[in-house]
Amino acid sequence: MNQGISLKFICDEQLGRLARWLRILGQDVVYQNQVSDFQIIEQAKKESRIVLTRDHNLAEKLFQEGIKYYLVEENYPAHQLREVVERFQNQLQLRVFSRCVECNLPLEEIEKAKVKNLVPPFVFQTQEVFRRCPGCGKIFWSATHRQQVDLQLRDILGDLYDRLLEEVWNPSPPIKEKSTG
C-alpha cells in the first residue's frame, strides 16, 4: 500500500480549481494567482514539490532544472482531478476535509467544549468531532458539506475514490488506558 508517502504539489496559475479540489482531498497544494515561473521553480526546489502545470514552456524549464512535474492534459477541473489522482494513485491517500481549502494548512483537533460559542447550537448538540484551521480559525465538523462532496467525488473519481479514501472523521476512538503508576 502507500503508507508513509506524502506528496506535495504546486499548481500553476491556470489550475486554481484543481488546487481547491486537491485540498478538499487533503493534499498539500500551493497555489497563487500571478506567480512567475521563477517563483514556482524556486518553491518547488526548496520544498520538494511536484509542479502541476498545463504550460509547456514551464514544463520545459522544470525539466531542465530537474524538478518533478506533471503536464496536465485535461481541460475541465473535474477531469483534471481524475487525471492527477489516477497518475499519482500509488502515492496518494485521500483524506477528505483534513486540510483548510483556503489556507492549505492541516486542520487541528479542537476539544468540543472550546467550540461551543463558535458553531451553531444545533451543530454543537449533534456533532462530537471538531477541527480548526490554525490559519483562518474556521471550525469544521464531520458533516460539513460531506454528503454532497462524497457524491461529487465518487462521480468524478469512481472506484479510485473508495480505494484511496482514508477516513479521518470517524476513526475508532483510541482506547485510553488508565495509567497505573
| Near Zn ion by CB under 5 A: residue from 42, 114, 135, 158 | 135
**Cβ neighbours for 29, distance < 8 A, ≥ 6 positions apart:** 8, 9, 10, 11, 19, 22, 23, 104
3-state SS, residue 23: helix
Complete DSSP assignment for 139-152: EEETTTTHHHHHHH
* Residue 136 binds Zn ion (CB under 5 A): yes
**Cβ neighbours for 78, distance < 8 A, ≥ 6 positions apart:** 21, 156
* Residue 24 binds Zn ion (CB under 5 A): no
Distance CA 78, CA 62 (A): 25
Among the listed ranges 67-75, 88-96, 127-135, 148-156, the one in contact with Zn ion (CB under 5 A) is: 127-135
* Residue 108 binds Zn ion (CB under 5 A): no
Tell me, by CB under 5 A, how many residues bind Zn ion.
6
Decide whether 108 or 162 has the Cβ nearer to Zn ion: 108
Smallest distance, Zn ion to C-beta of residue 168, A = 16
* Residue 133 binds Zn ion (CB under 5 A): yes
Distance CA 28, CA 7 (A): 7
Decide whether 5 or 136 has the Cβ nearer to Zn ion: 136
Q: Rule CB under 5 A: which residues touch Zn ion?
A: 100, 102-103, 133, 135-136
